[in-house]
Amino acid sequence: MSNVKAEELYTMGMEALRSGNTSAALEILEKAVGLERTPLVCSSLALCLAKEKLDFKRAISLCREAIKKDPKNSIHFLNLGKIHILAGQKKDALRILNMGLRYEENREIIAELQKFGRRRPPVIPFLERSNPLNKYLGKLLFKQRAR
C-alpha cells in the first residue's frame, strides 16, 4: 500500500520540480523518501535540496547513495552533475555527466554538456592547461581572433 503512495508522491514531486516549484517538490519528495527510500526518489530529492536549500553536501551524499544502489541509471548522474553545477564545481560536473553517458545516451545529459561548449586544445600542448603561459597565450590569441 505504501509503495503505491510513494510512487504517487514521486510523480507529484517530479511534476512540481519540472514546473519550477522546487519548494513544493522538496516537501513532497521528502514524504516519498519517508515511505520508500528508492534510488530515484533519493537522487531527485538531492537535486531539490541543492536548488532550494543549497545543501550541497547532503545532496551529493544522497545522489552517491542512489548511484551505489542503481549504478547504471543515467538520471542519477544527471542529477549529481546538476548539483555540482549549482555548487560551482564545473570540473566535477563534466566528469559526472560524461560518466552517465557511458551507461545510457540520455538527451538531458547531452543538453547539459552542450551548455558548456567545446574547449580548444591548449596553445602549447605539452604544458598543462592551467599553466599561466597557456592561459595568457590562449586569451591573447582569442582576443586577436587568431584562434
Same domain for 103 and 134, yes or no, is: no
How high is the pLDDT of residue 1? Answer: 37
Same-domain pairing of 108 and 126:
no
Note whether 99 and 27 are same-domain residues. yes
Cell 544522497 appears where?
A: 62
pLDDT in tens, 9-21: 888 988 988 888 8
pLDDT at residue 4 in the model = 66
Residues with Cβ within 8 Å of residue 26, at least 6 apart in sequence? 45, 48, 49, 52, 53
AA letter at 133: L
User: Domain range spanning residue 31?
Assistant: 2-116
Q: pLDDT tens digits for 94-105?
A: 999 999 999 888
Are 21 and 51 members of one domain? yes
Which residue type, as a one-letter code, is found at position 52? E
